[in-house]
């Protein structure tokens, strides 16, 4: 039996819940969230009860990514594969399932110690999704929620986990330079979406690089870009388009937690059954010009990474 997977939800931990609340309402134009007993908020982007969850905490990063299996039997099959490989997934209690809005939930860690939640039965809301900012809504359904890009300093280990164990296929491999930064990346698919998950090896201290929401209407991407400028939301990359076969027209800005969000449209689908891994050195066909703020942050992260490396190396002559 084939296991169908899709990105179900993302859980963010933040020290700035009030700023996230404003960001979700004003920048992303999402309707009022469900508020859970622990103070976390669940935000809708489609017919599901929630897709983006914001948890007040002590750091600013991705707390968990949720992957949804087609049904309970597929989830069991996936769990058996993981156990056979030595993993010990933990079953969530009823309270956590309610909080995540799923029928069943098991969690485990990826090789970068990121929390992965495997679930099925994403709860649907009683009312249709409606947003004045995105009147045509977002592309989700069988493709799942947009995509998430994780920072990974051990691409082979992460690819083995998400690819060989969870069943993602490699859509494209990226090897390029962005200014002074050498960047390698792997784009992974688990359905017809070009990538639901990508792994970037680049200097960064957070686990997540960015998440992307795919608008159905190109107009809504342009309006979101104008809204970001009007609201003073820091932009990272201006409007541009990823090269084929992805083709996404998008821009990137900063969330209140520092990692980026991407709003895009026109993403092309792939046929996973026929797909052969492609290699690219190009991140954009046009546009996506980096703002000064992003260049400064990249330079800062590069410097921090070099300092970390220097501290790990013993001083010359110290071992004599």
User: Candidates 43-51, 200-208, 212-220, 289-297 — which segment interacts with Fe ion by CB under 5 A?
Assistant: 212-220
CA 141/CA 256 separation, integer angstroms: 27
How near is the Cβ of 221 to Fe ion at its closest, in Å?
Answer: 13
CA 214/CA 211 separation, integer angstroms: 10
In the bound state with Fe ion, the residue whose beta carbon lies nearer, of 71 and 301, is 301
- Nearest residue to Fe ion on Cβ basis: 212
CA 296/CA 274 separation, integer angstroms: 41
Measuring CA to CA, which residue among 204, 201, 212 is closest to residue 237? 212
How near is the Cβ of 9 to Fe ion at its closest, in Å?
Answer: 17
User: Candidates 3-11, 107-115, 158-166, 261-269 — which segment interacts with Fe ion by CB under 5 A?
Assistant: 261-269
User: Candidates 21-29, 53-61, 112-120, 262-270 — which segment interacts with Fe ion by CB under 5 A?
Assistant: 262-270
Binding residues for Fe ion, total number by CB under 5 A: 2
In the bound state with Fe ion, the residue whose beta carbon lies nearer, of 34 and 181, is 181
CA 305/CA 320 separation, integer angstroms: 27
Place of tokens 């485990």: 108
CA 294/CA 300 separation, integer angstroms: 10
Which residue among 262, 288, 294, 298 contacts Fe ion (CB under 5 A)? 262
Cα 84–Cα 85–Cα 90 angle in degrees, nearest 5: 80
Residue 159 touches Fe ion, criterion: CB under 5 A: no
Residues near 123 by beta carbon (within 8 Å), at least 6 away in sequence: 48, 49, 101, 102, 103
User: Candidates 2-10, 48-56, 210-218, 301-309 — which segment interacts with Fe ion by CB under 5 A?
Assistant: 210-218
In the bound state with Fe ion, the residue whose beta carbon lies nearer, of 62 and 108, is 62
In the bound state with Fe ion, the residue whose beta carbon lies nearer, of 100 and 195, is 195
Longest Cα–Cα distance in the chain: 71
CA 263/CA 48 separation, integer angstroms: 19
In the bound state with Fe ion, the residue whose beta carbon lies nearer, of 63 and 237, is 237
CA 90/CA 94 separation, integer angstroms: 13
How near is the Cβ of 63 to Fe ion at its closest, in Å?
Answer: 20
How near is the Cβ of 35 to Fe ion at its closest, in Å?
Answer: 29
How near is the Cβ of 149 to Fe ion at its closest, in Å?
Answer: 6
Phi, psi angle pair for 164, to nearest 5°: -70, -35
How near is the Cβ of 11 to Fe ion at its closest, in Å?
Answer: 19
117 token code pair: 């939640």
Residue 208 touches Fe ion, criterion: CB under 5 A: no
In the bound state with Fe ion, the residue whose beta carbon lies nearer, of 60 and 262, is 262
How near is the Cβ of 210 to Fe ion at its closest, in Å?
Answer: 6
In the bound state with Fe ion, the residue whose beta carbon lies nearer, of 159 and 262, is 262
How near is the Cβ of 211 to Fe ion at its closest, in Å?
Answer: 8
CA 86/CA 96 separation, integer angstroms: 24
Residue 212 touches Fe ion, criterion: CB under 5 A: yes
Q: For the purposes of burial, counting CB atoms within 10 Å of the CB of 147, is it exposed (0-12), middle (13-18) or buried (19 or more)?
A: buried
Place of tokens 């931990």: 13
- Positions touching Fe ion (CB under 5 A) are 212, 262
């Amino acid at each position: 039996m084939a296991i169908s997977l899709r990105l179900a939800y993302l859980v963010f931990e933040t020290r700035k819940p009030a700023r996230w609340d404003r960001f979700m309402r004003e920048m992303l134009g999402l309707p009022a969230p469900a508020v859970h007993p622990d103070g976390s908020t669940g935000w809708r982007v489609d017919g599901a009860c929630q897709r983006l969850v914001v948890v007040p905490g002590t750091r600013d990063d991705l707390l968990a990514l949720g992957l949804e299996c087609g049904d309970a039997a597929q989830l069991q099959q996936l769990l058996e594969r993981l156990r056979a490989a030595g993993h010990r997934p933990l079953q969530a209690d009823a309270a956590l399932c309610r909080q995540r809005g799923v029928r069943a939930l098991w969690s485990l860690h990826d090789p970068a110690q990121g929390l992965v939640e495997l679930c099925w039965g994403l709860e649907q809301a009683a009312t249709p999704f409606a947003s004045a900012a995105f009147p045509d809504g977002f592309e989700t359904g069988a493709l799942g929620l947009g995509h998430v890009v994780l920072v990974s300093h051990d691409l082979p280990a992460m690819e083995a986990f998400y690819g060989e164990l969870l069943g993602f296929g490699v859509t494209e491999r990226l090897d390029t330079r962005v200014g002074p930064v050498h960047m390698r990346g792997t784009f992974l698919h688990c359905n017809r979406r070009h990538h639901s998950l990508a792994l970037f090896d680049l200097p960064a201290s957070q686990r997540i690089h960015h998440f992307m929401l795919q608008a159905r209407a190109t107009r809504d991407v342009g309006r979101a870009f104008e809204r970001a400028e009007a609201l003073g939301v820091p932009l990272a990359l201006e409007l541009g388009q990823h090269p084929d076969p992805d083709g996404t027209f998008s821009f990137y800005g900063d969330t209140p937690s520092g990692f980026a969000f991407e709003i895009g449209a026109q993403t092309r689908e792939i046929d996973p059954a026929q797909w052969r891994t492609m290699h690219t050195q190009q991140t954009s066909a046009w546009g996506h010009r980096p703002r000064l703020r992003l260049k400064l942050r990249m330079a800062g992260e590069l410097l921090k990474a070099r300092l970390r490396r220097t501290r790990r190396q013993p001083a010359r002559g110290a071992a004599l």
